[in-house]
Chains A and B, each alone.
Chain A
């Protein structure tokens, strides 16, 4: 039995072995769906994981009311680390649809699919709720903007993951987690200002 088999995905992705295994499973699944060939640089994947893990621990909130919101934010941090270290090289198949986001930016599409899936599985584990996809996920114009923005500043990947998961992206400082208490305070101030 695998050491991580008895752990929930929210625990197993916090270990490099669980993270690597789940990422490879996503790669295989995406390759089967799209016909794209992926080549993985495990060294870069480890770098992405270590960056993510450090930031995950640094920003982890203490308040129980923040835990669910932090799942989405942590998935965004993961996407940022993957975009930054870019551990995969993709070769789309000759028959791939050029208008599909998976062909336009196969690596980014793979990273996003992985992070959304992990987010959804963790939410399912924690609150028994698996959100569906939003229309932006298939909109090529959104993906053009995503790729350009993410290359300029990988932190914007966090905001795009919020967008793809149906949340409200924070475009100004996406790399900083805002606690429920902080957001409530901001809402109160905005209400007072009118």
Chain B
């Protein structure tokens, strides 16, 4: 097992998120059936769903990473000193989770464990753009984001991942409004979506390199 998972905190958080996602998916199924059940049973199931919801909500949104975490995550991609896989995992999980509602996937879950496995390959080879493109493709291919119906994000997977990594790659000098920066990266991504979908790995790397200095 990769060292980044050894604390078990990540898989446990994923389990809670999965429970939250599953209860969201189960609720519409339960509603018609509830009419056939005694009130006491309905109340019991509803209470269980609500508790799972509450627990899931507490862990569903990863905390806003601090400047040190973001710097360490960015450094891993750029090949600078001080890179950290744990920071990259947390930061990308935060970015993806924060952007999913923009793509109308409010109830999707981001698996930190799956992300942690990918960030093991994040050691830069080639230039920064190539490194970003490789991690971006890996996140999309490994289905890091799960949606309640069990399907993947489909065509939204690439833009949401690209926007998150673009945000992460931005230069910073001191504290920033990270949510604002994240949404600026998403706005820019929205306007290059057509190029993004047609991009091979070289073009994807070039897009990262071209857009990051503009934001």
* A contact residues vs B (CB 8 Å cutoff): 1-3, 6, 14-17, 20, 42-43, 45-47, 50, 53
Tell whether, in the assembled complex, residue B184 and residue A2 are in contact, meaning their CB atoms are under 8 Å apart.
no
Tell whether, in the assembled complex, residue A16 and residue B174 are in contact, meaning their CB atoms are under 8 Å apart.
no
Residue B172 at the chain A interface, CB threshold 8 Å: yes
Tell whether, in the assembled complex, residue A46 and residue B174 are in contact, meaning their CB atoms are under 8 Å apart.
no
Bound CA span A93–B190, Å:
33
Residue B214 at the chain A interface, CB threshold 8 Å: yes
Bound CA span A3–B213, Å:
13
Residue B155 at the chain A interface, CB threshold 8 Å: no
Interface contacts (Cβ under 8 Å), in number, total 42
Tell whether, in the assembled complex, residue A46 and residue B171 are in contact, meaning their CB atoms are under 8 Å apart.
no
Tell whether, in the assembled complex, residue B191 and residue A15 are in contact, meaning their CB atoms are under 8 Å apart.
no
Instruction: Say whether chain B's binding surface is mostly helix, strand, loop, or mixed.
Output: helix
B interface size (C-beta, 8 A):
17
A1-B173, A3-B172, A3-B174 provided; 9 other pairs, C-beta below 8 A? A1-B174, A2-B173, A3-B173, A15-B213, A15-B214, A20-B184, A42-B184, A45-B187, A50-B191
CB distance from A45 to the nearest CB of B (A): 8
Known A-B contacts A16-B184, A42-B183; the reply to A47 vs B191 at CB < 8 A is: yes
Residue in A2, A3, A43, A53 whose beta carbon sits within 8 Å of that of B187 in the complex: A43
Residue B188 at the chain A interface, CB threshold 8 Å: yes
A selection of 21 A-B contacts at a CB cut-off of 8 Å is A1-B174, A1-B175, A2-B173, A2-B174, A2-B176, A3-B173, A3-B174, A6-B173, A15-B213, A16-B187, A16-B188, A17-B180, A17-B184, A17-B215, A42-B184, A46-B184, A46-B188, A46-B190, A47-B191, A50-B188, A53-B214
